[in-house]
Structure 1
Amino acid sequence: MFIDLAKAFGRFKIWEVVCAAVVPFIFFPIVSIQGSKYSDPRVTEYPKKGPVREWLDAIVWAVVAALIIRTFMFEMYTIPSSSMEKSLLVGDYLVVSKLGYGPRVPNTPLSFPFVHHTLPWSKTAKSYIEKPQLPYKRLPGTTEIKRNDPIVFNFPAGDTVSEVYQSNVTYYQLCRYFGKDKVMSDKKQFGNIITRPVDKRENYVKRLIAMPGDTLQIIDGIVYINGEIGEQPAEMQHNYIVKITGNGINPSILQKYNITEGYRTAHADELIFNMTADIAEEFRKLPFVTSVTRRIAAPGTEVSEDIFPNDTAHFKWNADNFGPIVIPQEGVTVMINPENIALYDRVIRAYEHNEMEIKDDKIFINGKETDEYTFKMDYYWMMGDNRHNSQDSRFWGYVPVDHIVGKPIFVWLSIDKNTGKIRFNKTFRTVK
């Protein structure tokens, strides 16, 4: 349609056709300013195209069609980490639907096609031009976002990254470890510090655990939603302490039970493995195993600045004993003070773009003193099914609704990272 419209304005050059198809909201206003005259395509005879131009037009059409499908309908993703095992495996290739929750209009319309945030021949060169930036807009979808859905989203803490560490270690972690001044000044160790728009932040896949307005608490590794035990994914994993009679376990046994993560403790007869509850029960039956106990960080132990809200002075939480915490909901007003502001700092500053500062134990938002804040967006709580090997909301907090990309619906290919072979029993399966 846009290509035909461009031709009606006498724009036949290949670059004009490409611009009309890819960035029509920029191209046609320029055409209008230049005073190009419209001619009715039903009565206008266009110049004949040679074979080269025919091929170029066909390629343009194919690229445009693929871009439309990728942007608004479906996109392919690969599982790079084990945070969702055993529900999703490293080496799974996913089809992610954007139609269900509604496709987003791209925030960053000017970008290199078919790549995410970095050009394929470079480790650091941006694949996009930051301006113009379009406001968040989501087209109507076919279903609502639901609790316990697996979801692909843009990594919220990936708004600022080190070119060296990318999102593997967040900028905010680096600042906690080394200090902001060193991170910003030491180009040799950290490279340039860059910012990314929402749609160019790293793609993550986790399970939606809590909805806007839900009260979430984790007690001894068990998630409670609004005071009741939340739904447990069938393939959820935890750390288990395995005590044995010998000094090790035959690798063939680990392979039999599909155990891919584990390590030895300081005790020769003690190992820690990531396992599902069913596999842990099978391990208890092995003749050389004396005990299998789920590893749980007791309340008040293993407290770390890496645990959200990254404020150990006021929140003594860990990954197994966390909260309670209320997930922010659009239109809801909360009371804020210096003791709880860490829970909402990122929401107020980074996601909802306000200026905030604390002076003399008083909070100022956009220059005005206040003790309350009303949320402008809905937020969600995401966790990996591999509970003791997942960087998720327990570490970096809420996921804003404008970061939601889509829902993985289908695994079309699964390749074992160790052997390089196709896992036929895991290929062509739906995602639950």
Structure 2
Amino acid sequence: MTWKIFKKDKNAVKTKKGPVREWADAILFAVIAATLIRTLFIEAYVIPSGSMEGSLLIGDYLFVSKVNYGARMPITPIGIPFTAHTIPYTDTKSYVDVQLPYYRLPGFSDIKKGDIVVFNLPTEADSPLYRPVDRRENIIKRCQGTAGDTLSLVNALVYVNGKPRPPVSEGKMAYVIKTDGSGINPNLVNELHIDDFGAVDNATFTGNATLESIKQLKTYSNIKSITPNIAIKGFVDDRSGPVYPLSHPDYKIGEMPRYNWNVDNFGPVIIPKKGWTVKLDSLTFPIYGRAIAVYEHNTVKVNGKDIFINGKKADTYTFKMNYYWMMGDNRHNSTDSRYWGFLPEDHVVGKALFTWMSIDSTASFANKIRWSRLFRGIK
């Protein structure tokens, strides 16, 4: 057999890429690189609501680390890049509903109490959206309890394993403000960043404020008293409505037990931990049934007082994932774990690192940028 060796002709003319091909290659490379960075390392996020004020403000732009807790691999990998769940300005899905099993790369640390975490909104698992985990809206809250903790709220103070959690210094609470009848200057309300400010009568007002703002307000001579506007223990608060699990009565054994919990007095509840076995009865099932059925993908049916999981009668259940308890720092203006229950670990997106930009949409053009918040660490 004769082998012919072909040598590259040094004088051959190379075919030059046209401008369209060069642009296409550059765009493809940029999309792939950006997707890998957003998936594995870091992603930008903007604060859309006031649930974390005053720790984080509406219009704060954050960088969120994927590596701290370990990057979550895409669950719905086929879709239009840089879209969440729908094609912009349409109601059309931006992804193909082909789902892979949940998997997370190793991270630097576990979620700790006090961490500010970005995660997917658990309630979008429900009707009418039924979105996959990684296609649910991103929201941000502070972790108050981790897997295995026993958590309760007593007069708006969080207790974990019987010990009080320190209040967030920059967080907000609801207050009742009594004056001598002369009212409160609206400019002062804006200066002290008092939210949801309203009048009960000519001398009484309500609003959400930080401890520092309340201290300053107390120095004015027309202020007679300021007291926290806390829901009474044992009663459902009309301001907030029913809290979990009454807010999500997915499964019932007879009638739902009267837990008599509200937004400021809640629990105690044990936060599920991977491998923990809970006894299922009429008191515990309404609390843990949602996690068992919705988040851990079991078929659950109730027949009288009997509970069936995947067709088998069950009086216990062993959890497959870790869960967390998330709450907003603006305590009385936050829809969080008090309303939708435990956060599953597969919903966790990443840890908030720092604000790189902050824009006040309500300010004048010259004052739009909050310069003091640029490149500010998050704590």
Verify same fold: TM over 0.5.
yes
Q: Is contact 1:84–1:384 with CA below 8 Å preserved after alignment? A: yes
Contiguous gaps of at least 5 residues in structure 2: 1-7, 250-255
Q: Are residue 92 (structure 1) and residue 48 (structure 2) matched?
A: no
Aligned equivalent of 2:349: 405
Decide whether the 8 Å contact of 1:338 with 1:362 is kept in 2.
Answer: no
Aligned to 1:151: 117
**Which letter maps to 1:127?**
S
Which residues of 2 match residues 14-413 of structure 1 at below 5 A?
A: 48-51=15-18, 52-122=20-90, 124-131=91-98, 133-160=99-126, 171=127, 193-265=128-200, 267-302=201-236, 306-310=242-246, 313-413=257-357
Change (3 A) 1:141 1:49: farther
Structure with the largest fraction of helix:
1
RMSD in angstroms over aligned alpha carbons? 1.8
Query: What is the distance in 1 between the residues matched to 2:196 and 2:45?
Result: 23
Quick check: 1:338–1:363 contact (8 Å CA) kept in 2?
Answer: no
Between 322-331 and 337-346, the greater mean CA deviation after superposition: 337-346
Secondary structure of the corresponding residue to residue 195 of structure 2? coil
- Distance apart, 1:272 and its partner CA: 0.7
Indicate how the Cα distance of structure 1 residues 90 and 214 shifts in structure 2: closer, same or farther if over 3 A, else same. Answer: same
Provide structure 1 residue ranges, at least 5 long, that are not aligned to the other structure. Answer: 1-42, 161-170, 172-192
**Residues 353 and 378 of structure 2 are in contact (CA less than 8 Å); yes or no, is this contact kept in structure 1?**
yes
Q: Which moved more, 1:50-59 or 1:227-236?
A: 50-59
TM-score by length of 2: 0.90
8 Å Cα contact 1:314-1:339 kept in structure 2: no
Q: Equivalents in 2 of 1:285, 1:247: separation in Å?
A: 15
* Cα drift, residue 327 of structure 1: 0.2
Q: What does residue 426 of structure 1 align with?
A: 373
- Give the counterpart letter for 2:245 in structure 1: P
Q: Which amino acid aligns with 1:306?
A: P
CA drift at 1:255: 2.2
Distance 2:281 2:295 in 1: 19
Deviation at 1:49, TM superposition (A): 4.9
Give distance in 2, aligned partners of 1:142 and 1:158. Answer: 29
1:233 offset after TM fit, Å?
1.5
Listed one character per residue, the Cα deviations across residues 115-149 of structure 1 (whole Å, up to 9, x for unaligned) are 21121132x22111112x11101011122211110
**CA–CA distance in structure 1, aligned partners of residues 202 and 197 of structure 2:** 14
Provide the rounded CA distance (Å) in 1 between the counterparts of 2:241 and 2:204. Answer: 29
Equivalent pair of 2:257/2:282 in contact (CA under 8 Å): no
CA contact (8 A) 2:169 2:211 kept: no
The 2-side partners of 1:71 and 1:223 are apart by 33
Q: What is the aligned partner in structure 1 of residue 361 from structure 2? A: 417
Partner Cα distance (2:296, 2:258) in 1 = 24
Residue 320 of structure 1 deviates from its aligned partner by 0.5
- Give, in angstroms, the shift of residue 99 of structure 1: 1.1
CA 1:365–1:411: 2 relative to 1, 3 Å: same
TM-score, with length taken from structure 1: 0.79
Partner of 1:179 in structure 2?
A: none
Distance (Å, rounded) in 1 between the aligned partners of 2:162 and 2:361: 40
Within 2, Cα distance between the matches of 1:220 and 1:315? Answer: 16
Aligned length, in residue pairs = 355
Report the CA distance between 1:422 and its aligned residue.
Answer: 0.9
